[in-house]
Amino acid sequence: MTSHKAIVSGISGRYAVALFDLAIEEKALDAVESDLSKLKAMMEDSADLRDLVSSPLFSREQQSKGIIGVAQAAKLNAMTEKFLGVLAANRRLGALGATISSFEKLLAHHRGEVRAEVVSARKLTKKQLGDLEKKLKLAVGHDVAIDASVDETLLGGLTVQVGSRMVDDSLKTKLDNLAIAMKGVQ
């Protein structure tokens, strides 16, 4: 297997590798993946959770109690709960979002998938995501796992990044390019 260092780096990468290796060893990869996906969604939806994770105003103990409470309320796997406790004890909860992203990269590599970051002006439907996934699989030649996000400033269209390749088909970019072209006409 390729070294994990080639896929992820930094503090978040080290924590993700530790969790990933432990999840494989304990045969809990699917459970941890589900937990981290749940946590990621919870962080996107809750400003209070984002504050708990990132604010230096909370003490180590407050962060530990808070994140363990969240884990228990969400009925997360015991391994994930302990992992969150370790992050809190080491004052690394601020790296949770990046650690989840690093874990997703490791998981995609483990499964032979390529990750694609898709940013659209509006939330894509399941059918749209499925169609996009099929088209990207044909273009890339591998299974593709999509990380979808929304950026309303795009106005319309979307941007897709797979590895170092990026396709920007957003209305905002088209309008910006038109504005640049129009300046040359004056």
Per-residue tens of pLDDT for the chain, all 186 residues: 445 656 788 999 999 999 999 999 999 999 999 999 999 999 989 999 999 999 989 999 999 999 999 999 999 999 999 999 999 999 999 999 999 999 998 998 888 888 888 999 888 899 999 999 999 888 888 888 888 888 888 888 889 988 778 888 888 888 888 888 888 765
Instruction: Say which residues have a Cβ less than 8 Å from residue 169's Cβ, sequence separation at least 6.
Output: 157, 158, 159, 160
Q: Which residue has the tokens 């950026």?
A: 151
Burial status of residue 87 (CB atoms within 10 A of its CB: 0-12, 13-18, 19 or more): buried
What is the SS3 assignment for 12?
Answer: helix
Closest to 102 measured CA to CA, from 147, 159, 57: 147
pTM above 0.75, yes or no: no
User: Which of these, 90, 88, 104, lies nearest to 19 by C-alpha position?
Assistant: 104
- Domains, the chain, ranges and CATH? 4-107 (1.10.520.20), 112-185 (3.40.30)
